Amino acid sequence: MLSLKENLVVDFSPSLLEKFGEIVARYPEGRQKSALLPILHEVQAVYGWLSVDMMDKVASYLSIKPIEVYEVATFYSMYFLQPQGKYTLEVCRTGPCCLVGAEKIMDHLEDKLGIKEGEISADGLFSWRGVECLAACGFGPVLQIGPEYTFYENLTPDSVDALIANLRTEAQAKD
C-alpha cells in the first residue's frame, strides 16, 4: 500500500490530452481501456513517474475505476510508482548478458554513480536498476534509458563512463 505523501498533483497539458485522444481513437467504441498502457507511457514520459493523482486522472479520462489503473501500473515493470533520477539506466541482468559481463557493468555503475540499485544520485540526475532480458542478447551487455528507451550495446566500463559524462553534459546544457 502506498501513502499519499509522495503524490504529485498535476494537470495534463492540452498536447498530452490530444495524444490521449489519438490513442483512444485506435480502438473500437467502448474499448477505450485498451489505451491504458500507451497512455501511462505518455504520462510517465512527461513526469518521469506515475503518482496516484496522475493515475486517478487517467482513470477518469478513460472512464474506468482508479483500482483498474493501479492494478495495471503495478503489474508491469516499466511503470515507476516513485520518483526516479532524471536518467534511469536500466541494465539487462539476464543470463545471456551475464555471460558477457553484465554483472561487472552493474558493479561498475554502482561504484561510478555511488548509488545502489533503485537509489537516486544526490544531484537527482541518475538512478539505475537491473532489468530482465531486453532482447538484445547478441549485443550484450546492454542498457536502456527512458522515456525513449535509447539503447546502448556492447557496454564496457569505459563506454559506460563516457555515456555518464555525456548525460551530465546534456543535462547541464538543458538547464
**Where does this chain bind other proteins (CB under 8 A)?**
1-4, 26, 28, 31, 33-38, 40-41, 52, 62, 64-68, 70-72, 74-79, 93-96, 98-100, 131-140, 144, 146-151
Distance CA 32, CA 21 (A): 10
Q: Smallest distance, Å, CB 114 to other proteins?
A: 25
Rounded to a whole number of angstroms, the minimum distance from the CB of residue 99 to other proteins is: 5
Q: Which three cell numbers stand for residue 33?
A: 481501456
Spatial distance between the Cα atoms of 165 and 162, rounded to a whole number of angstroms: 5
For the chain, the straight-line distance linking the first and the last C-alpha, in angstroms and rounded, comes to 35
Question: Smallest gap, in angstroms, from Cβ of residue 11 to other proteins?
Answer: 20
Query: In angstroms, rounded to a whole number, what is the distance separating the alpha carbons of residues 25 and 36?
Result: 12
What's the min distance (Å) between Cβ of 32 and other proteins? 8
Nearer to other proteins by Cβ, of 3 and 172: the residue is: 3
Nearer to other proteins (CB atom), residue 103 or residue 112: 103
Cα separation, 171 vs 175, in Å, equals 6
Nearer to other proteins, 123 or 132 (CB): 132
> In the structure grid, which three cell numbers stand for residue 31, read together?
474499448
The conformation of residue 141, written as its DSSP 8-state character, comes to S
Nearer to other proteins, 71 or 111 (CB): 71
